[in-house]
Chain A
Amino acid sequence: MDFSFTEEQTLLRNTVQSLLSDKYDFDTRRKVAKSADGWRPEIWAQFAELGLLAAPFSEEMGGLGGGAIETMIVMEEFGRHLVIEPYVETVVIAGGFLREGGSPAQQEAHIPGIVGGETVWAFAYAEPQGRYNLADLTTTAKKDGSGYVINGYKAVVLGAPWAQKLIVTARTSGGQRDRDGVSVFIVDKSAAGVSTRDYPTVDGRRASEITFENVKVDADALIGQEGKGLPLVEKITDQAIAALSAEAIGCMKELNTATVEYCKTRKQFGVPIGKFQVLQHRMVDMFMAYEQSVSMTYMVNLKLDEGDAERTKAAAGAKVQIGKAGRFVGQQAVQLHGGMGMTDELNVGHYFKRLTMIDTQFGNIDYQLKRYSEAA
């Protein structure tokens, strides 16, 4: 039993910390989120330079040979600074599909672009009628010669406005919600027939609605086996959940620190409000919610390579924990900051918004509770 980090892992954390405290203060982040582009390609280039985009890939793939724990460290620090850039979408998700399901040729073709920071990816999986069910697909991919033709509509594709490449789930056979018949494709966002409409998200990021109209892809666009993609999709979204959990504990850590600090200095009725027992107990509950979330985050990141049932329970469990804790910590951090907590000017509301959206991404508390109980 050992929950300590290696020297390399600590070094990685220090590297991320020093870059972000130097280049990612809250006011800059706020301006960038409101700018026309909505993100900073130059920061992305620095992530590449520091090896952050290479962290989870093996050395043969041009990576640094890290794993889930390295991603967790990066994401926790990203959470503390509310990093906007599409690390989860590009490195964790697209990188995950290529690493775990890609052919050597696909890995060779696409991983260097991720590692080098040249290519940004987005994951087009959700559909309006599907809610959180990854298999509920009306988007189809029909065999066409040696390749496929894709038709359909994808909802709330995070980071898509910045992406050149998309990972797209589509049905190659079976009924709308069958587990069989789901396939995963690599699609160029610039391919003929792909049209996007972009918009901002409430947590300061960007997303697109994407329509695929007779989009032709070659046979080598298919990741893994035709019609057998769902287990891979589930595995990769669980990796994304593990990364989001780490981001969430970064957010909660900052909120708890800020709240305790504020309650020590804010005076009402002649004393710091932190002297009121009702608020003390509230902050203790926030602290415990955070600690429980850290535990679940470690657990899911350590279990990503277990069998499907074990991994599913870990991921669903972690997602429930961070969903509940994120809501409680976020709401109470705002409450204890009073009116200031409501403002756009203070970072507290921004962490709360991000935590709320982390619960929404890849299935909220209710969805994951159900998934957990069905896996058990």
Chain B
Amino acid sequence: MDMRFSPEELAFRDEVREFIANNYPQELKGARRGELSKDEILAWHRILYKKGWVAPHWPVEYGGTGWSITQRYIWNEENARAETTPLLPFGLSMVGPVIYTFGNEEQKKRFLPGILSGDDWWCQGYSEPGSGSDLASLRTKAVREGDHYIVNGGKTWTTLAQHADWMFCLVRTDPNAKQQEGISFLLIDMKTPGITVRPIITMDGSHEVNEVFLEDVKVPAENLIGEENKGWTYAKFLLGNERSGIAGVARSKKAIERLKSLATAELVDGTPLMKTDEFSRKVAEVEIDLSALEVTELRTLAAESKGRGPGPEASILKIKGTEIQQRITELAVEAVGNYALVQAPRLEVSGNEFVPGPEGSQGVAQDYFNMRKTSIYGGSNEIQHNIIAKMVLGL
């Protein structure tokens, strides 16, 4: 057992650290995604694409870097450390691996380059108004007519669909089969007639998610991934990947740093809040939780590098990771005191509204409200508990 990095790994760390320092657009440092334009969100993606580092976790033959699991871990750490904008997962982490694992040659040639370059923006057509935790009950249906499917139904909570060029979509192709067995995995061009995207504004005032209505949408049959009615297998494969990235350890470390600096600037009777027992203990607690999660994630990664997983244990990463993210934002609200009340502008509205408060305090309450989504999305934390109970404990 050894948790230290090797000299080669340390050299790699220095290399990527330097690359980030020299190439990351400084004006985007630490920006919240909700405050960025489409081009700003994609800026880092495009830089990494040019460098050939945009998809470290992909097999080399499809554009991956060939890095070891430890190197990928270091890469993520360094990105979080430099507060780069997180890359969008929909293409790179979700549909990309599905396409190179289950797609045909034609599909790989057609879709993988656009995912890597960032020219194609993908969104996820999974949840429906009636199908949240019980995803397999989805009702959007696709009927085969000649060499097309005709799709009718609706998706919801579709993140950043307002910018999307493509949607990967779960549809019901066999209404008579058992729930999981009648589902197919379709790739849908968002410009197809019959698609309407309606924004959903969340309680923090941002526009991240949308409803997507599909009315007689004609999708070429060649956009079917794998076999008809086998979509649930691909969907589960994708969800497994989604969970493994969700721990967010490196980003939470950075968030704790920011929390500490907020709590250092905030005074209690002239003393920094961070120096008070009650607050420093709470920060210590969440930091310790995060250390434990970090090693748990490393153990998962180590197992993965030996060809196992990510199995149901990935649910631990989702539950603990989101609890920690939520706790940090909760503490940030406590840290700023009265200024937590101030509403920071969200959406694309004008830039010069008055947002008082100490540096870094702007929008902390909104971040806290926004982070409540994390225990709901990607399979709610209740569902993750069920997965562990059933698959790990055998209950």
Residues of chain A contacted by B203 (CB below 8 angstroms): 342-344, 349-350, 352-353
Shortest distance from the beta carbon of B231 to any chain A beta carbon, whole Å: 19
Write out, one digit per residue, whether chain B residues 325-363 have a CB within 8 A of any chain A CB (1) or not (0). Answer: 000001001100111111100000000011110100000
- Alpha-carbon distance between A310 and B180 when the two chains are bound, in angstroms: 62
Q: Tell me what chain A mostly uses at the interface: helix, strand, loop, or mixed.
A: mixed
Shortest distance from the beta carbon of B124 to any chain A beta carbon, whole Å: 13
Residues of chain A contacted by B268 (CB below 8 angstroms): 131, 133
Complex partner residue of B337 from A131, A177, A341, A369, CB under 8 angstroms: A131
Residues of chain A contacted by B202 (CB below 8 angstroms): 342-344, 349
A197-B356 in contact (CB<8A): yes
A158-B341 in contact (CB<8A): yes
- Alpha-carbon distance between A345 and B201 when the two chains are bound, in angstroms: 7
For chain B residues 100-155, which have a beta carbon within 8 Å of chain A? 127, 130-134, 137
Residues of chain B contacted by A341 (CB below 8 angstroms): 372, 376
- Alpha-carbon distance between A259 and B47 when the two chains are bound, in angstroms: 46
Shortest distance from the beta carbon of A146 to any chain B beta carbon, whole Å: 34
- Alpha-carbon distance between A21 and B200 when the two chains are bound, in angstroms: 27
B356-A366 in contact (CB<8A): no
Whose C-beta in chain B lies nearest to the C-beta of A200?
B343
Q: Could you tell me how many residues of chain A have their Cβ less than 8 Å away from some Cβ of chain B?
A: 52
Q: Does B39 count as interface, using CB distance less than 8 angstroms?
A: no
A338-B133 in contact (CB<8A): yes
Q: Does A128 count as interface, using CB distance less than 8 angstroms?
A: yes
B340-A268 in contact (CB<8A): no
Write out, one digit per residue, whether chain A residues 146-188 have a CB within 8 A of any chain B CB (1) or not (0). Answer: 0000000001101000000000000000001100000000000
Complex partner residue of B342 from A131, A156, A343, CB under 8 angstroms: A156
Write out, one digit per residue, whether chain B residues 363-394 have a CB within 8 A of any chain A CB (1) or not (0). Answer: 00110110011011100111001000000000
Q: Does A5 count as interface, using CB distance less than 8 angstroms?
A: no
A128-B270 in contact (CB<8A): no
B382-A278 in contact (CB<8A): yes
For chain A residues 83-139, which have a beta carbon within 8 Å of chain B? 126, 128-133, 136
Q: Does B156 count as interface, using CB distance less than 8 angstroms?
A: yes
Write out, one digit per residue, whether chain A residues 331-354 have a CB within 8 A of any chain B CB (1) or not (0). Answer: 100110011011111000110110
Q: Does B157 count as interface, using CB distance less than 8 angstroms?
A: yes
| Binding-face segment, A68-76, A202-210, A248-256 | A202-210
Q: Does A220 count as interface, using CB distance less than 8 angstroms?
A: no
- Alpha-carbon distance between A350 and B366 when the two chains are bound, in angstroms: 12
Whose C-beta in chain A lies nearest to the C-beta of B282?
A366
B338-A366 in contact (CB<8A): no
Whose C-beta in chain B lies nearest to the C-beta of A132?
B337
Q: Does B49 count as interface, using CB distance less than 8 angstroms?
A: no
A202-B341 in contact (CB<8A): yes
Q: Does A269 count as interface, using CB distance less than 8 angstroms?
A: yes
Write out, one digit per residue, whether chain B residues 181-205 have a CB within 8 A of any chain A CB (1) or not (0). Answer: 0000000000000000000111111
Beyond A202-B343, A268-B137, 13 additional pairs, beta carbon < 8 A:
A132-B338, A155-B338, A156-B342, A198-B354, A199-B355, A202-B342, A207-B342, A267-B130, A268-B131, A269-B134, A331-B372, A334-B372, A338-B133
* 30 A-B residue pairings within 8 Å (CB atoms): A131-B269, A131-B273, A131-B338, A132-B337, A132-B338, A136-B269, A201-B341, A201-B342, A202-B340, A202-B341, A202-B342, A209-B354, A267-B130, A268-B132, A269-B133, A276-B382, A278-B382, A278-B385, A279-B382, A331-B372, A335-B375, A335-B381, A339-B209, A343-B203, A345-B200, A349-B369, A352-B372, A356-B368, A360-B333, A361-B341
B→A interface (CB under 8 Å): 127, 130-134, 137, 156-157, 200-205, 209, 266-270, 273, 278-279, 330, 333-334, 337-343, 353-356, 358, 365-366, 368-369, 372-373, 375-377, 380-382, 385
